[in-house]
């Protein structure tokens, strides 16, 4: 390859550049990023940055050593794939021809109808702006009791804000971990002095208030919307790239264009829906661990190596003084099993199919998470009766 274009300046994009150089690519590499900042880590935005404990999460990279040209503040607007290889990326800075392409454009927060100001938390600028508004007594309304909503509520309550969280589902985190397990986190809000209103749908964001579907209003000095994100795919319209929730790829991150898998075009990060042989379906995993590790496989594909990405997905969150960690893929499971009392301070929930451990969520039990992730990666069967004993290490529940 003479020139690789990496479209997207997030963690997945910079890790793809690094992986290409590690694997011996000597040609040009150009990184195109809609943001004006160099690539940075996003998880601290809703934690340390929002709390004021950090202000810069830039990924430490020697750009000179990487020999990578960066086009910051420039957006990709179209893709014209060549036939059978290479093509052109159209950007706000002009047209860039390529014979290797990494699609890593990430995702964009979903916003709500209405003319009132609504804040999202996706970029470093978003975090800094919202942080300045979190002052004692401020009436903060958060729409969405998901991972981001809970983390913002945690920080805002600590800063003395009057916090109300409005959630359309009947329990927090229903979309992420299901209503049964999500309901176990509801009491955390009250303990932190946060008002949680579930089963409440929003009609619009208005100046100074949130208009609910039933006509009621919630007064607010600031409104944060945390109802999810959508992959940034608009620039691919008309390109022939297959879309299945995100950019559809195989296990090696090859993108299909006009029905043909292309080894010269790969997609990674929050915009990629990659095929998992482990779970027998495509996964769209919008978390840091995937953005960190998947680009090595994508780069291997571009340089002609055989590679496959099929890990046990992992995610973590800090909320209301608790470390919450998740690994696996629970929608495939048949039943749940608890380790410890969910009314207590430390517990875990396991999702199983027969004697197969499909997923685990841990609350301040990091050892459970580490050991369970190893069990799932190996595909080793477990004894459910032993697994239900919170005093027994997960590794000791593996069947002989």
pLDDT for the residue 56: 94
Enumerate domains of the chain plus CATH numbers. 3-108+229-302 (3.50.50.60), 111-225 (3.50.50.60), 321-397 (3.30.390.30)
Q: What would the two tokens of residue 19 be?
A: 């992986």
Provide the pLDDT for residue 34.
96
- Between the CA of residue 346 and those of 321, 322, 398, what are the distances in Å? 12, 9, 22
Q: Round the average pLDDT of the chain to a whole number and report it.
A: 96
pLDDT of residue 327: 97
Task: Give pLDDT < 70 ranges for the chain.
Answer: none
Residue 37 corresponds to which tokens in the numbers above?
Answer: 């900042």
Are the CB atoms for 44 and 57 separated by under 8 Å?
yes
pLDDT (0 to 100) of residue 148 = 96
Q: Token pair for residue 291? A: 């953005």
Q: Write down the pLDDT at residue 83.
A: 83
Burial (CB count within 10 angstroms: exposed 0-12, middle 13-18, buried 19+), residue 385: exposed
Closest among 5, 67, 16, 65 to 39, alpha carbons compared: 16
Tell me the pLDDT tens digit for each residue of 10-20. 999 999 999 99
Parallel/antiparallel/unpaired status of strands 76-81 and 68-72: unpaired
Per-residue pLDDT, 348: 98
Q: What pLDDT is recorded for position 209?
A: 97
Cα 120 to Cα 110, 129, 224, 281: the distances in Å are 8, 10, 6, 30
Q: State residue 2's pLDDT score.
A: 94
Query: Cα–Cα distance between 149 and 142 in angstroms, integer?
Result: 6
Give the pLDDT confidence score for residue 98 in this predicted structure.
Answer: 97
Q: What's the predicted TM-score (pTM) here?
A: 0.95
Cα angle 268, 326, 164; round to 5: 100
Contact of 108 with 230, CB cutoff 8 Å: yes
Half-sphere exposure (Cβ direction) of 142: Cα atoms closer than 13 Å: 30
Tell me how far apart the alpha carbons of residues 325 and 245 are, in angstroms, rounded to a whole number.
25
Cα-based distances in Å from 321 to 91, 338, 359: 44, 21, 23
Of 10, 8, 243, the residue nearest 122 (C-alpha): 10
Q: What is the DSSP letter of 241?
A: B
């Amino acid at each position: 390859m003479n020139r690789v274009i990496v479209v997207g300046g997030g963690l997945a994009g910079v890790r793809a550049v690094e992986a290409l150089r590690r694997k011996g690519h000597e040609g040009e590499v150009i990184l195109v990023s809609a943001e004006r900042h160099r690539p940075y880590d996003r998880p601290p935005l809703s934690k340390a940055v929002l709390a004021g404990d950090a202000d810069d999460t830039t990924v430490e990279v020697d750009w000179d050593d990487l020999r990578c040209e960066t086009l910051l503040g420039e957006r990709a607007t179209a893709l014209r794939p060549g036939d059978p290889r290479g093509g052109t990326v159209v950007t706000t800075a002009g047209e860039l021809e390529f014979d290797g392409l990494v699609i890593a454009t990430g995702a964009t927060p979903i916003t709500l109808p209405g003319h009132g100001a609504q804040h999202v938390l996706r970029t470093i600028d978003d975090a800094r702006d919202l942080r300045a508004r979190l002052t004692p007594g401020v009436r903060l309304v958060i729409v969405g009791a998901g991972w981001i909503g809970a983390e913002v509520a945690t920080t805002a309550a600590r800063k003395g804000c009057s916090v109300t969280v409005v959630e359309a589902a009947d329990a927090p985190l229903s979309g992420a971990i299901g209503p049964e397990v999500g309901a176990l986190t509801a009491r955390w809000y009250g303990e932190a002095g946060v008002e949680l209103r579930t089963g409440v749908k929003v009609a619009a964001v208005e100046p100074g208030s949130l208009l609910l579907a039933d006509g009621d209003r919630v007064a607010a000095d600031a409104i944060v919307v945390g109802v999810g994100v959508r992959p940034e795919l608009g620039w691919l319209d008309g390109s022939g790239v297959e879309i299945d929730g995100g950019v559809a790829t195989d296990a090696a991150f090859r993108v299909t264009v006009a029905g043909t898998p292309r080894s010269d075009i790969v997609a990674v990060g929050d915009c990629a829906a990659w095929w998992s042989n482990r779970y027998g379906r495509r996964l769209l995993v919008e978390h840091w661990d995937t953005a960190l590790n998947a680009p090595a496989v994508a780069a291997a594909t571009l340089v002609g190596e055989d590679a496959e990405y099929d890990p046990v997905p992992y995610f973590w969150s800090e909320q209301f003084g608790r470390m919450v960690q998740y690994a696996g893929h629970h929608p495939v499971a048949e039943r749940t099993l608890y380790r410890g009392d969910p009314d207590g301070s430390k517990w875990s929930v396991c999702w199983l199919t027969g004697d197969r451990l499909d997923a685990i969520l841990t609350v301040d039990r990091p050892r459970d998470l580490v050991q369970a992730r190893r069990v799932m990666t190996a595909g080793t069967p477990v004894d459910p009766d032993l697994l239900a004993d919170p005093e027994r290490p997960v590794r000791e529940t593996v069947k002989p």
